[in-house]
């Protein structure tokens, strides 16, 4: 997604946002972490409840949160046909401010060969600060292994991090959904007359973008507080 004002160092054909999809097309052996149960919609609900993105290891890396520097056109391609042989992404995710994400530590992935990765990991004693760089490594051995189409960025954490999460407050600027007028379910109690789930304050008034199957359209904003006060 793009906005009207370009940031410092921005190329005019690059987006001012980064996207984190809560699901992705997966190959054999590529299983989601234990906390990411359910489908992409359910994971988005969890993200909106917690107001954060949890980091996880990616093929043996230190904990990372993966994002895509996808333009509007690229997002449509990712949702409609996919950008690899694995197929399209499920239309559920959060949109982050690129500029703010950078101030929080997000950096572009570094595409290196398996040999370069091994040289890094075993050629010296890895210090904590080195692990943040190691977390940015993505295998690149074309033609068989090439993930550059994902335009990946990452938040990286040390292996020993006890709570590797990205707080969405102040950095999330929108939500991608797969249905019109979608809200996270209020789970209203018929006896108490109010919702038992509490959604993060960062969700309030977030712009919502709906995937129609062909294009991504503006779809209003979230009024989480109003929804939480709905009766049974």
pLDDT in tens, 11-28: 677 889 999 999 876 655
pLDDT interval class at 160 (50, 70, 90): confident
Compute the average pLDDT of residues 17-40: 74
Strand order in 17-21's β-sheet?
107-108, 152-156, 64-68, 17-21, 93-97, 172-177, 207-211, 216-221
pLDDT at 189 over 60: no
What is this structure's pTM?
0.84
Query: CA 151 to CA 148: how far, in whole Å?
Result: 6
Alpha-carbon separation of residue 45 from 31, 92, 166, 180 (angstroms): 20, 10, 16, 16
* Strand (E) or helix (H) holding 108: strand 107-108
CA distance 68 to 149: 9
Most confident of 12-21, 34-43, 186-195: 12-21
Whole-angstrom CA distances from 31 to 36, 37, 186 are: 10, 10, 29
Among residues 221, 142, 211, 224, the alpha carbon closest in space to that of 174 is found at: 221
Span 85-97, average pLDDT? 91
Residue extents of the structural domains in the chain: 1-109+147-232
């Amino acid at each position: 997604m793009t906005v009207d004002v370009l940031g410092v160092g921005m190329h005019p054909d690059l987006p001012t946002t980064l996207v984190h999809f809560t699901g992705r097309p997966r190959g054999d052996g590529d299983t989601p972490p234990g906390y990411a149960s359910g489908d992409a919609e359910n994971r988005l609900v969890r993200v909106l409840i917690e107001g954060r993105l949890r980091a996880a290891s990616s093929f043996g890396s230190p904990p990372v949160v993966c994002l895509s520097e996808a333009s509007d056109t690229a997002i449509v391609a990712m949702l409609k046909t996919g950008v690899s042989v694995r197929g399209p992404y499920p239309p559920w995710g959060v949109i982050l401010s690129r500029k703010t994400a950078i101030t929080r530590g997000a950096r572009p992935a570094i595409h290196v060969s398996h040999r370069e990765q091994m040289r890094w990991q075993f050629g010296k004693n890895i210090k904590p600060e080195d692990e943040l760089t190691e977390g940015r490594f993505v295998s690149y051995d074309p033609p068989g292994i090439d993930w550059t189409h994902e335009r990946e960025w990452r938040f990286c954490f040390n292996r020993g991090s006890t709570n590797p999460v990205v707080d969405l407050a102040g950095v999330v600027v929108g939500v991608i959904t797969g249905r019109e007028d979608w809200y996270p379910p209020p789970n209203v109690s018929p006896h108490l007359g109010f919702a038992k789930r509490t959604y993060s304050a960062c969700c309030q008034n977030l712009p919502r973008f709906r995937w129609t199957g062909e294009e991504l359209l503006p779809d209003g904003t979230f009024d989480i507080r109003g929804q939480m006060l709905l009766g049974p």
